[in-house]
Structure 1
Amino acid sequence: MSTSKNKLSVIKKIIAIILGFGPGIFAIGYTIGTGSVTSMIVAGSTYGMQLLWVLLLSCLFSGVLMFAYGNYALISGETALYGFKKHIKGGKILAILIIIGISFGQWNSLMGILGISANIIYEILAMYFEGLVGFQYETVLTIAILIIGVFYALMLVGKYTFFEKILVIFVTFMGLSFIISLFFVYPLPKDVIAGLIPSVPSVPGGKMMVAAFVGTTMAAATFLSRPLFIRGKGWTIDNLKQQKQDSITAAILVFIISASVMAVACGALFHQGQPVTKVLDMANTLEPVAGNLAVTIFFFGTLSAGLSSIFPCLLIAPLLLADYQSGELDTSSRQFRIVTFIACLVALIVPIFGANPIEMQILSQVFNVFVLPIVVLGIILMVNNKKIMKGYKTSIFVNVGLFSALLFSCIISYNGILALFDFL
């Protein structure tokens, strides 16, 4: 009897930890979508663990930036773009450029996310209903319309706490699915160690993949939206310690989940010389190695990753607009309904035209890196302004992290420009 009670108390503690997640859950939702999963799978299957160092640095800098933006929000009482517009010379133009750049990148990502999620559901259905095989385009498009329709309906009735609870469910399933997959296939220890030594694959598409990695794990949208989500959570200056822990936890989880996906792809596909180019390549090659169960678990995780990213991607444009205008997000406003509806229409472009969602996802992640240096520079200026921070001094450690993140983002943006020229 006592054993069963102990088991129940452990389960209750785990559920309490999961439900106790703060705005960091949105950081995971933004960061690990099918864009991130796609990038990790393609990288792991094509280059092994060679880009693990990029992932590690991206997650480290992401943690620092989440912490900095969170502290700025709690201490100043302002949101990011509103603060840029108010306190930085030329900040108004800067904020508008950021809104355009991030919305473009996230909406591009949304197209790929919906395309991949609809394809995964189609493939699962096709396994049980063979009659659907000849109607892939029609089925995928119908599924995509249903998914985006349901999410739009949820957006119209939801508040912060509602979005947070749904994301907690998807992110938990996603994380567990990918970590469990590691028990079926895993890379060699020497591959993992070698992946921590900085190097760029000297092959076509290598630079593109590095830029995509940073674009998906160090996403500007994650940091800019954090002050609004912190406000939605109801946190105040008394929650500074909680905010710090939330940032660290989110960054660590992003690294563990993303590295697990890359490791599974490396263990299953890299040494067989089977790079992934289509959504189902992963399933077809995992099956003989690990069996149907592993395929089901992995694809359930990928689907959860996609669905967990639709909410944040639909939210980003109205979030940034609200941030710029007043720092308050009104989910019942006409502006919110119109902007999210436009985002839903944009999301259907890939399913309607039948484009390859894998290519769209990687390309959209590359676009994300171009806004990153501006977003990092903006917060450096803000958190080091004594007037804005009301006497709170930003530590040397955080400043070293922020300036290192700025240098890293500039190098990656330059790398992204070269990658795009090679692609075009």
Structure 2
Amino acid sequence: MGKQRSENKHKNSLIKKILIALSAVGPGLFLIGYNIGTGSITTMGMTGAQHGMTLLWALLLSGLFTYILMVAFGHLTLVTGKTALLNFKREIPSVGKPLALYIIGALILGELLALIGIMGIVAELIQEGIRLASADGGLVVQTGWIILVISAGIFAVLWYGQYKIFEKILTTFVILMVGCFVAVFFMVTPSYSAILEGMIPGIPDTSGSYRLVAAIAGTTCSAAVFVIRSTVVAEKGWTIGNLKDEKRDAFVSVFTMIFLSAIVMAVGAGTLHVMGLKMETTLEMIRLLEPLGGDLAAFLMIVGIAGAGLSTIFPIVLIAPWLVADYMGWERDIQSPMFRGLIVGGLLFAFGSIFLEQTPPVLMVLSQAFQAAILPAVAIPVFYLLNKEELVGPDHLPSRKWNAGLVAVIIFSLVTTYFAVRGFF
């Protein structure tokens, strides 16, 4: 009995330590949940399916620059005590207000495009799941009705302010999905030579390759992530004394995102690429887990990606009211008329996939490529503000090394913007 009590006490102590460690990287975990969703799975899976591991370099480079910008935005917020948009609005002479308004408009447009793609993917996955679960496999529910039910459910949850409870349930689905991808990765791991070759910069001479490079940058080094990070760091209550915590948090967040994204790319390379599929339709996404076997693998994929998609939809429909409240300096009250009105407006766009010709996965990649085109509008201003001595103070100016990193990020953002424009047209 005493031995059992000792074991239980040790187990509880271990769980407590894990929870404390997780709370120390709260903003990073929030962004992992936001960033690793349907967009990342679609982009990385499609990249692996179409080009194997040849674009791994774009993911690694995007991860490096994501870390630099995450630290930069967190640093600016901790030192000034103000969120990014407020700093842009108040501290950049002449162009501060129009720049902040442009960022708000561009981010909302990009997230609405993502919402159309995500909701279309989730609806088609649930449609296939219902078909597989039916007795004879012949029950087909129209995606429009599925989107209507999902939208009504999301609105009801947000109306009563119970998002955190729902998020915990969906996090379980995301963990399940990640576990499946890791399992498949060890079953279909590409050769080490293919992985090493993927680290050498190069762009395949095929249609849509530039758009995929921009989408990799957009889904990893996303402008929305940095603006939201500023808000989440402020909500965490961190101060200048947490600068080291902020850097550690950013590293954990970026490392996890890159690790999971690389696994999804490798699974796409080891399954769909070998089968000659390009993952341009939702049902081809399901075949990513085919090595696990039959309908069970398909159903597992449906549950995982649908859960990841639903958990991503929540911050997407909240981003417009968050940005408006941030710009105006208002309290972020999810039950205010402004929040509820903008949430309803955002959910109306969820039906867009029904009326557009492009398949949801292609729409998802287009939205991620669009995100890459917004990056210069956040990278250049944060470089300017961090080097504004009267704002951050002489003790918190960036070192030459960090300034070199920020300049490299700006160059990268301009290059990926060019790739995004070239990919669109």
TM-score using structure 1 length: 0.91
Matches within 5 A, 1:111-130: 111-130=116-135
Residue 272 of structure 1 and its aligned partner are, at CA, apart by: 2.9
Separation in 2, partners of 1:408, 1:213: 12
Q: Tell me the equivalent position of 1:156.
A: 159
3-state SS of 1:23 partner? helix
Moved more, 113-122 or 43-52: 113-122
Matched, 1:222 2:225: yes
Residue 229 of structure 1 and its aligned partner are, at CA, apart by: 1.2
Q: Tell me the equivalent position of 1:60.
A: 64
Match of 1:259 among 262, 265, 269: 262
Matched, 1:109 2:131: no
Match of 1:323 among 326, 331, 338: 326
Separation in 1, partners of 2:260, 2:379: 24
Superposed CA offset, 1:297-341 (max 9, x none): 444432232122112211211111111111642223211111111
Matches within 5 A, 1:64-103: 64-89=68-93, 90-103=95-108
Residue 397 of structure 1 and its aligned partner are, at CA, apart by: 2.7
Identical-pair percentage: 38
Whichever residue aligns with residue 187 of structure 1, its letter is P
Match of 1:390 among 375, 393, 404: 393
3-state SS of 2:373 partner? coil
**Contact 2:126 / 2:302 at 8 angstroms: preserved in 1?**
no
Q: 1:361 to 1:285 in 2, by over 3 A?
A: closer
Matches within 5 A, 1:199-238: 199-238=202-241
Whichever residue aligns with residue 419 of structure 1, its letter is G
Whichever residue aligns with residue 420 of structure 1, its letter is F
Separation in 2, partners of 1:156, 1:335: 12
Residue 184 of structure 1 and its aligned partner are, at CA, apart by: 3.1
Residue 193 of structure 1 and its aligned partner are, at CA, apart by: 0.9
Separation in 2, partners of 1:174, 1:86: 43
Residue 135 of structure 1 and its aligned partner are, at CA, apart by: 3.1
Matched, 1:340 2:338: no
Superposed CA offset, 1:357-376 (max 9, x none): 11211111111112111110
Q: 1:294 to 1:74 in 2, by over 3 A?
A: same
3-state SS of 1:203 partner? coil
**Contact 2:171 / 2:307 at 8 angstroms: preserved in 1?**
no
Separation in 2, partners of 1:170, 1:400: 40
**Contact 1:177 / 1:300 at 8 angstroms: preserved in 2?**
no
Whichever residue aligns with residue 218 of structure 2, its letter is G
3-state SS of 1:348 partner? helix
Q: 1:80 to 1:323 in 2, by over 3 A?
A: same
**Contact 2:73 / 2:382 at 8 angstroms: preserved in 1?**
yes
Whichever residue aligns with residue 248 of structure 1, its letter is F
Q: Tell me the equivalent position of 1:406.
A: 410
Root-mean-square deviation (CA, aligned residues, Å) is 2.5
TM-score using structure 2 length: 0.90
Q: 1:378 to 1:209 in 2, by over 3 A?
A: same
Q: 1:34 to 1:164 in 2, by over 3 A?
A: closer
Unaligned runs of 5+ in 2: none
Moved more, 362-371 or 18-27: 18-27
Q: 1:315 to 1:174 in 2, by over 3 A?
A: farther
Residue 355 of structure 1 and its aligned partner are, at CA, apart by: 5.4
Unaligned runs of 5+ in 1: none
Matched, 1:28 2:57: no
Matches within 5 A, 1:6-21: 10=14, 13-14=17-18, 17-18=21-22, 20-21=24-25
Whichever residue aligns with residue 273 of structure 1, its letter is G
Aligned residues: 418
Separation in 2, partners of 1:322, 1:285: 40
Residue 4 of structure 1 and its aligned partner are, at CA, apart by: 5.6
Q: 1:212 to 1:334 in 2, by over 3 A?
A: same
Matched, 1:46 2:50: yes
Matched, 1:270 2:273: yes
Q: 1:160 to 1:286 in 2, by over 3 A?
A: closer
Residue 283 of structure 1 and its aligned partner are, at CA, apart by: 2.7
Whichever residue aligns with residue 121 of structure 1, its letter is I
Q: Tell me the equivalent position of 2:292.
A: 290
Separation in 1, partners of 2:170, 2:96: 32
Separation in 2, partners of 1:349, 1:317: 18
Q: Tell me the equivalent position of 2:307.
A: 304
